[in-house]
């Protein structure tokens, strides 16, 4: 693994979200959706379908779901459809025959799709596979609606440096970060006392430690509030997702690690609270529907109508909050430690967590083994000198590859 010269441990301009520019409203927004068949992608296109005259769909991508990708491309009259699985190209071409929509396949084609001229790119490819396409999207200086955690978790300093270098805009799509973005609204960093992200607590919030230890994948996939993909749902069950989101927040917003925190809020109505030095606490509230933060990212600084449930506080009556329990949810502790280690530790954390979650879903390890495997991988990477500064995406990908190798090595002992 070759890691090049170091970058500053803190970038002077970590966020381009402070003053995003408005997109020309005199014509339809040119929009590409990377990861069109996933939950974020389909929610994005659901919003588009309600006011199709306001959007021009440039490119849609998916990893393997040819049937749905082709249907979405036809419905939205996309210019280009790309399937990540190269072996499915002939199938995609057949599904698009007579539509005039270009078809392509493979990892390089995914990155090429991100380079198609657009006003906004919804970056919603899950996992490390989304790194190269999202970096490619940044290089065209467009608005990046970011739903891919890995760009900030694994490659935070490198990614934000690219955002600044190419003059791109970065608007977060995670509900918690979108909430913080809205509440901060360009506030003076010196006025911020703390940014607190909320966590639902997942399906095991009230379970004992012994019960969680015996939990099955089926039980872990039953999230009480949100409908998400399997990997993100397991991360919610372990609270690893909140640790990853704290890492993202560190790169998105101009505060130190000590000014970031999380709190368990079972109703998932308050998505973030920001306390200021004068004692004020501002919060963003909305029903748990990803179409709200997606609409914010697409329309900012304006607002667009979203078909979400309207918030009725009188009917809800009670909103509750409680501290997270890092004994029952050790993944949160492990993620916080990786954030404090800085450098490439979050990249190792992310890669090892992907391996661990897959192993849990495949019934190779138990629930608590997820955090244990990730922590063991972080320690092994540190012993090999892999927790170090990174300069480029290639450095991050090299660390990601090593971390996966080390995680698989550790997995063989379970």
127 DSSP β-pair partners = none
At 112-131, the pLDDT tens digits run 999 999 999 999 998 888 99
pLDDT at 86: 96
Is 376 exposed, middle or buried (CB count within 10 Å of its CB: 0-12, 13-18, 19+)?
buried
**How far, in Å, CA of 335 to CA of 341, rounded?**
10
Q: pTM for the full model?
A: 0.90
Phi-psi region of 239 (alpha: psi -120 to 50; beta: other; left: phi over 0): left
pLDDT at 7: 26
At 181-238, the pLDDT tens digits run 999 988 999 999 999 999 999 999 999 999 999 999 999 998 877 667 788 899 999 9
Q: What is the pLDDT along the chain (414 residues), one digit of tens a residue?
A: 333 222 222 323 334 333 445 566 688 999 999 999 999 999 999 999 999 999 999 999 999 999 999 999 999 999 999 999 999 999 999 999 999 999 999 999 999 999 999 999 999 998 888 999 999 999 999 999 999 999 999 999 999 999 999 999 999 999 999 999 999 988 999 999 999 999 999 999 999 999 999 999 999 998 877 667 788 899 999 999 999 999 999 999 999 999 999 999 999 999 999 999 999 999 999 999 999 999 999 999 999 999 999 999 999 999 999 999 999 999 999 999 999 998 999 999 999 999 999 999 999 999 999 999 999 999 999 999 999 999 999 999 999 999 999 999 999 988
User: Mean pLDDT of all residues in the chain?
Assistant: 92
Ranges of beta strands (E only) in 286-389 are none
CA atoms within 13 A on the CB side of 282: 14
Instruction: List the domains of the chain with CATH numbers.
Output: 29-173 (3.40.50.720)
CA-nearest of 163, 118, 130 to 40 is 130
Phi-psi region of 341 (alpha: psi -120 to 50; beta: other; left: phi over 0): alpha
């Amino acid at each position: 693994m070759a890691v090049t010269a170091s970058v500053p441990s803190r970038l002077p301009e970590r966020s381009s979200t402070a003053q995003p520019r408005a997109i020309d409203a005199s014509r339809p927004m040119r929009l590409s959706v990377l990861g069109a068949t996933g939950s974020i992608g389909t929610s994005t296109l659901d919003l588009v379908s309600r006011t199709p005259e306001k959007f021009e769909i440039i490119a849609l991508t998916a990893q393997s779901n040819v049937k749905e990708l082709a249907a979405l491309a036809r419905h939205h009259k996309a210019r280009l459809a790309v399937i990540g699985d190269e072996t499915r190209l002939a199938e995609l071409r057949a599904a698009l025959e007579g539509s005039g929509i270009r078809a392509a396949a493979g990892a390089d084609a995914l990155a090429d799709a991100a380079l198609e001229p657009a006003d906004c790119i919804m970056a919603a490819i899950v996992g490390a596979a989304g790194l190269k396409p999202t970096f490619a999207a940044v290089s065209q200086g467009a608005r990046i609606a970011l739903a891919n955690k890995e760009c900030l978790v694994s490659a935070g300093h490198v990614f934000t440096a690219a955002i600044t270098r190419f003059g791109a805009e970065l608007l977060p799509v995670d509900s918690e970060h979108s909430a913080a973005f809205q509440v901060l609204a360009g506030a003076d960093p010196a006025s911020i006392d703390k940014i607190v992200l909320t966590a639902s607590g997942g399906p095991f919030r009230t379970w004992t430690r012994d019960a969680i230890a015996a939990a099955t994948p089926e039980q872990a996939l039953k999230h009480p509030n949100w409908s998400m993909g399997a990997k993100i749902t397991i991360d919610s069950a372990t609270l690893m997702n909140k640790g990853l989101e704290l890492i993202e927040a560190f790169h998105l917003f101009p505060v130190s690690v000590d000014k970031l925190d999380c709190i368990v809020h079972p109703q998932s109505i308050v998505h973030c609270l920001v306390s200021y030095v004068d004692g004020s606490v501002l919060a963003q509230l909305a029903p748990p529907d990803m179409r709200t933060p997606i609409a914010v990212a697409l329309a900012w600084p304006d607002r667009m109508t979203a078909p979400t449930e309207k918030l009725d506080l009188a009917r809800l009556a009670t909103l509750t909050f409680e501290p997270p329990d890092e004994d029952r949810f050790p993944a949160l502790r492990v993620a916080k430690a990786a954030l404090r280690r800085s450098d490439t530790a979050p990249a190792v954390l992310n890669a090892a967590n992907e391996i661990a979650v897959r192993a849990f879903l495949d019934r190779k390890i138990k629930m608590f083994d997820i955090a244990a495997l990730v922590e063991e991988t972080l320690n092994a990477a540190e012993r090999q000198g892999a927790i170090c500064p990174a300069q480029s995406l290639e450095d991050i990908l090299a660390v990601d590859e090593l971390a996966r190798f080390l995680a698989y090595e550790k997995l063989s002992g379970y």
